[in-house]
């Protein structure tokens, strides 16, 4: 029996990379999945098609979570398409290089509008319909605790995500809704392919398990976090990094 049979999940930023891996794993575990995307419908449709080919259920919904007006329609789509909502995975985010010399107010706003404000407003809207026993997963990063000076703003957003994981868990706990953070290490995705080639040897050298992470590594931990196996886990951020400390 699939652990998530009868459950409905939204995965933000699920058209590729870690988000796509999460969507496909949750569907394989039995959940019906809303595959959210902001830009590429073709990529989102490809994820839906892979899920359907494997016998799962999925539906692609366009919504840019940096735009507050697009958030409620995303939540409404889950309820309209599948009748309920049990799981929210806040994966959508932006990552850009911004040293002290190069960062701008525009970059600051872009990062925080998606990585922090968007995450919080999506959770606010989802919480109004999440069923008791539901779960919210926030995708953080190892740099929340061991930041890099070349990505000040991104690191700051992920520190904020860890704080929100704790505070949201405290507010939603009485409704039996859990909130869990996942902090990936160095994971190979389409979005970081260029930098991955340059940094792989260095970061793998710092990783006790000796390899680059894959989206499936993060997806497996998300699948655990939203399942009944994690029924006593909330307010915590779990490192999924092969032992890497940035």
- pLDDT digits 0-9 by tens, 65-113: 999 999 999 999 999 999 999 999 999 999 999 999 999 999 999 999 9
Portion of the chain with pLDDT greater than 90, in percent: 89
* CATH architecture under which domain 8-240 falls: 3-Layer(aba) Sandwich (3.40)
**Catalytic residue selected from 95, 154, 202, 224:** 154
Phi, psi of 139 (to 5 degrees): -85, 115
Domains of the chain, by residue range, sit at 8-240
Active-site residue, 148 included: no
Element (H, E) at 33: strand 32-37
Spatial CB neighbours of 135, under 8 Å, sequence gap ≥ 6? 86, 87, 88, 177, 178, 179, 180, 225, 226, 230
pLDDT exceeds 70 at position 192: no
């Amino acid at each position: 029996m699939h652990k998530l049979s009868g459950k409905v999940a939204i995965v933000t930023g699920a058209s590729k990379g870690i988000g796509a891996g999460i969507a496909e794993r949750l569907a394989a575990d039995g959940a019906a999945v809303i595959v959210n995307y902001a830009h590429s419908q073709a990529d989102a449709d490809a994820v839906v098609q892979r899920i359907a080919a494997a016998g799962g259920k999925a539906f692609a919904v366009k919504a840019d979570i940096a735009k507050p007006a697009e958030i409620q329609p995303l939540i409404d789509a889950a309820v309209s398409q599948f009748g309920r909502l049990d799981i929210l995975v806040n994966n959508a985010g932006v990552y850009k290089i911004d040293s002290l010399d190069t960062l701008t107010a525009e970059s600051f706003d872009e990062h925080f509008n998606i990585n922090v404000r968007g995450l919080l407003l999506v959770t606010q809207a989802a919480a109004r319909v999440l069923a008791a026993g539901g779960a919210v997963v926030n995708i953080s990063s190892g740099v929340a605790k061991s930041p890099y000076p070349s990505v000040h703003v991104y690191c700051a957003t992920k520190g904020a995500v860890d704080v929100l994981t704790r505070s949201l868990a405290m507010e939603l706990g009485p409704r039996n809704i859990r909130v869990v953070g996942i902090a990936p290490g160095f994971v190979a995705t389409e979005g970081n392919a260029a930098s991955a080639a340059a940094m792989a040897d260095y970061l793998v050298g710092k990783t006790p398990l000796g390899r680059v992470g894959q989206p499936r590594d993060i997806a497996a931990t998300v699948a655990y976090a939203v399942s009944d196996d994690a029924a006593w886990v909330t307010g915590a951020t779990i490192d999924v990094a092969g032992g890497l400390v940035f």
